[in-house]
Amino acid sequence: MAKDLSFVCSECGAAYSKWSGQCDACQAWNTIHETKALASGPKGKTLGGMRGRAIPLIDLDTQEPEPPRTQAGVAELDRVLGGGLVKASALLVGGDPGIGKSTLLLQAAARFARNGLKVIYISGEESTAQVQMRARRLGLEKSPVRLAAETNLRDILTTLEAEKPDLAIIDSIQTMWADNVESAPGSVSQVRASAHELTTFAKRNGMSVIMVGHVTKDGSIAGPRVVEHMVDTVLYFEGERGHQFRILRSVKNRFGPADEIGVFEMTGKGLAEVKNPSALFLSERGAPAPGSVVFAGIEGTRPMLCEIQALVAPSPHSQPRRSVVGWDGGRLAMILAVLESRCGVPFTGLDVYLNVAGGLRISEPAADLAVAAALVSAREDAALPAEAVIFGEISLSGALRPVAQTENRLKEAEKLGFTSAISPHQAKQVAVKGISLRQSHDLAAFVEEVFGAR
């Protein structure tokens, strides 16, 4: 018999048959809560007894028409959506509180409304006056977006049924209250039930729904993870506090590529699109300094240059610090180990700080070589040539692995005025006019060539 998995982690959504203090899946503490099962079918009837309806079957090559889409007319948003908002789709927009989700969605609502969709914006967090005030600040108060402040899901669905909008925005899913579920708003059962009701309602009525989900670190309210599997598209809105850059990233998209990003800038009048992110991410770069390297990366389908900064200093601690912002800490440890054991560049007794400038978060392994270059440059106190970009993956053996889209990376570098690039050796040569390419087979040779005999 199937186990009753009614205990669910509010961080990652893992389900268990009994309560425990720590989630085995994501290691978070005190995030496992009991949930009430969703309403079940008629009692005593097993599915094996069947009395359902026969489903029509089709061939694999039956042509289904492309789903209709509406574009916002904001390139950064449309690209992340895979070419516009798909009719009758369910989306989740996650992000830290205060990052700008409500601002983004109010601006998107106005755009979609202008392009012909009937849009309803339901705020469960703010009063209508607060949302109107934001609309005025954004200069959108005349947009034909209909607004309400409400948390009762039954009332919301009743209203949507009557109004028949093309798009409903629910800000946020954690404030919604489904009265058929006995637990507090924000709990796993409420968030799940609300998201399920909204998604099925949307599909049934040909309406699109965008739900906002707050990311919470302490698990006191259920995170967006518990609804990720229910929706068609999951977008995360990211950025560092103190930086004006915001990145909208698609982590799941049934109607387009995942891992696509859109770049925005938070201004006094809302979010502005950033058409040339490389220029923006490099704009704060000063004179060439030790520890600073320009990485030629790819985010989704677009090339993006950014600065990687390292600082290496003698450590006063017995356990030196390894601190990293915008990149993976485990990957940093790996690069340090490879530098030490394959290239004879030890970091013992040294504190290491690594930072991706501008609040960008990089996940590409192609950043390995740029990180290694920044680390060695900081340690040796030797600046790299200012007109060079770097990219390449490092393997545990110290060998350099070629990465995808070399040509796009080089073209972007050329466009921004760089004249040389350092990359792994590639069997198939790529040449871009204006860029002199320097290629190495392994990390030790690279360190030797760039930083001289040691």
> With CB under 5 A as the contact rule, which of the stretches 96-104, 201-209, 272-280, 350-358 interacts with Mg ion?
96-104
Say which entry of Mg ion, ligand TYD, none residue 290 contacts (CB below 5 to 8 A, set by partner kind).
Answer: none
> With CB under 5 A as the contact rule, which of the stretches 97-105, 227-235, 376-384, 446-454 interacts with Mg ion?
97-105
For the bound state, the minimum distance from the C-beta of residue 101 to Mg ion, rounded and expressed in Å, comes to 5
For the bound state, the minimum distance from the C-beta of residue 102 to ligand TYD, rounded and expressed in Å, comes to 3
Cα distances (Å, whole numbers) of residue 360 to 239, 283, 334, 386:
7, 13, 21, 21
Given 95, 165, 223, 239, the residue binding ligand TYD (CB under 6 A): 95
Query: Is 123 a residue that touches Mg ion (CB under 5 A)?
Result: no
Query: Is 268 a residue that touches ligand TYD (CB under 6 A)?
Result: yes
What are the beta bridge partners of residue 293? 308
Comparing CA positions, the residue from 27, 28, 30, 11 lying closest to residue 19 is 30
C-alpha span between 96 and 359 (Å, rounded): 14
Phi-psi group of 236: left, alpha or beta (phi > 0 → left; psi -120 to 50 → alpha; rest → beta):
beta
Cβ proximity to ligand TYD: between 102 and 175 the closer is 102
Angle between helices 188-205 and 153-163 (to 10 degrees): 10
Cβ proximity to Mg ion: between 99 and 421 the closer is 99
Query: Is 359 a residue that touches ligand TYD (CB under 6 A)?
Result: no
Say which entry of Mg ion, ligand TYD, none residue 137 contacts (CB below 5 to 8 A, set by partner kind).
Answer: ligand TYD
Contact 360, 247 (CB under 8 A): yes
> With CB under 5 A as the contact rule, which of the stretches 55-63, 95-103, 247-255, 394-402 interacts with Mg ion?
95-103
Q: Which residue is nearest to Mg ion (CB)?
A: 102
What are the beta bridge partners of residue 211? 92, 170
For the bound state, the minimum distance from the C-beta of residue 374 to ligand TYD, rounded and expressed in Å, comes to 31
Query: Is 99 a residue that touches ligand TYD (CB under 6 A)?
Result: yes
Residues with Cβ within 8 Å of residue 99, at least 6 apart in sequence: 237, 238, 239, 246
Query: Is 251 a residue that touches ligand TYD (CB under 6 A)?
Result: no
Say which entry of Mg ion, ligand TYD, none residue 134 contacts (CB below 5 to 8 A, set by partner kind).
Answer: ligand TYD
Query: Is 169 a residue that touches ligand TYD (CB under 6 A)?
Result: no
For the bound state, the minimum distance from the C-beta of residue 196 to ligand TYD, rounded and expressed in Å, comes to 23
> With CB under 5 A as the contact rule, which of the stretches 98-106, 219-227, 300-308, 343-351 interacts with Mg ion?
98-106
> With CB under 6 A as the contact rule, which of the stretches 64-72, 93-101, 201-209, 395-403 interacts with ligand TYD?
93-101
Query: Is 70 a residue that touches Mg ion (CB under 5 A)?
Result: no
> With CB under 6 A as the contact rule, which of the stretches 5-13, 101-109, 250-258, 430-438 interacts with ligand TYD?
101-109
Query: Is 223 a residue that touches ligand TYD (CB under 6 A)?
Result: no
Given 266, 334, 416, 432, the residue binding ligand TYD (CB under 6 A): 266
Contact 297, 363 (CB under 8 A): no
Instruction: List binders of ligand TYD among 398-437 (CB under 6 A).
Output: none
Contact 32, 46 (CB under 8 A): no
Say which entry of Mg ion, ligand TYD, none residue 257 contacts (CB below 5 to 8 A, set by partner kind).
Answer: none
C-alpha span between 431 and 173 (Å, rounded): 50
For the bound state, the minimum distance from the C-beta of residue 100 to ligand TYD, rounded and expressed in Å, comes to 4
Instruction: List binders of ligand TYD among 112-151 (CB under 6 A).
Output: 134, 137-138
Query: Is 102 a residue that touches Mg ion (CB under 5 A)?
Result: yes
Given 270, 290, 297, 424, the residue binding ligand TYD (CB under 6 A): 270
* Binding positions for Mg ion, rule: CB under 5 A: 102
Residues that bind ligand TYD (CB under 6 A): 95, 97-103, 134, 137-138, 266, 268-270
